[in-house]
């Protein structure tokens, strides 16, 4: 069975309304393609906080998508 090597990640903070002012725990998922990572990020935009994405080292070119740019990046086809 062949498995695709993950080269993209999407990281996000899980919302917990009972957490008060405490930091939210983070989770990260990995993907074999940028399109898969974008699709997952789009599903998170209303559900999670502080969503970011990027390529996993040593994949080049290195890309990091900051939380401030994630909406624009996820909307690209």
Average pLDDT value for residue range 28-53: 93
Residue owning tokens 């990995």: 30
Indicate the pLDDT class of residue 3, thresholds 50, 70 and 90.
low
Does pLDDT of 1 surpass 50?
A: no
Instruction: For Cα atoms 26, 6, 24, give the angle at the middle one, nearest 5 degrees.
Output: 5
d(CA 6, CA 46): 25
Does pLDDT of 10 surpass 90?
A: yes
Count of CB atoms situated within 10 Å of the CB of 77: 4
More confident residue, 35 or 21: 35
d(CA 17, CA 54): 27
């Amino acid at each position: 069975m062949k498995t695709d090597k993950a080269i993209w990640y999407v990281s996000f903070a899980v919302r917990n309304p009972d957490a008060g002012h405490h930091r939210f725990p983070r989770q990260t998922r990995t993907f074999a393609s940028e399109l898969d990572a974008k699709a997952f990020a789009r599903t998170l935009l209303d559900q999670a906080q502080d969503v970011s994405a990027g390529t996993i080292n040593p994949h080049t070119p290195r890309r990091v998508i900051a939380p401030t740019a994630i909406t624009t990046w996820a909307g690209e086809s």
